[in-house]
Amino acid sequence: MARRKTGSSFETVRTIAKSLPDVEEGTMYGTPAIKLRGALLACIASHKSAEPGTLVVRVSIEQRDAMIEDDPATYYLKDHYVGYPCVLVRLARIHPDALSDLLHAGWRFVDATTPKRRARHSGSARRRSRTYSRRARGGRRRD
C-alpha cells in the first residue's frame, strides 16, 4: 500500500502563494522568497543554524511561540531568529493544508504591518496636484 505524502516543498509554497493578493516571487539572501508588496512573507532559510529544507514564515512572535509549543516537530526556532517575528518550518513535516493556513496567517500579519502601495496617478493628475499644493501654500505657479 502506498504511503500518503504529508510533507511539502517550495513548489507547494509557490502554488499557495499564487492565490494570495499582491504577492510576488523574489529572492532573499539568494534563496527563493515570497513577498507581499515587496516585504518578505516567506523564504527558504539561509542562515547556517537552520536545518536544510526549512521555510521561514513571518508571523507574530506570540503566534510563533504558540505554534512551536503545539507542534515542535514541525515548527522551531534558532537563536538567530529569536528577535524576528517569524517561525521556522520543516517543509518535510508540514501537510499542505497546514502550510496553506500558515501562509494565509503570514499574509495577514505582513499585510497589517506593511504600508499599502498608492495607486499611480497619470502625469497630468500629478501636475495638477502639485499646482494646487503650491497655490494652497500661497506659492506661485511656474509656467
Give the per-residue pLDDT at 115: 84
Domain containing residue 115: CATH number: 3.90.1150.30
pLDDT of residue 143: 52
Percent of the chain whose pLDDT exceeds 90: 73
Segments forming the whole domain that contains residue 132: 10-136
In the three-class reduction of DSSP (H, G, I as helix; E, B as strand; rest coil), residue 89 is classed as strand
Q: What is the pLDDT of residue 7?
A: 83
- For residue 2, being part of any structural domain is answered with no
* Dist CA 10 CA 31 (whole Å): 11
Task: Render pLDDT for 86-105 as a digit per residue (tens, 0 to 9).
Answer: 999 999 999 999 999 999 99
Q: What is the pLDDT of residues 23-53, one digit of tens each?
A: 999 999 999 999 999 999 999 999 999 999 9
Per the structure, the count of domains in the chain is: 1
Q: For residue 1, is it within any domain?
A: no
Q: Are 50 and 88 in contact (CB under 8 A)?
A: yes
**What pTM did the predictor assign?**
0.78
Residue 37 located in a structural domain: yes
Take residue 102 and report the three cell numbers written for it: 500558515
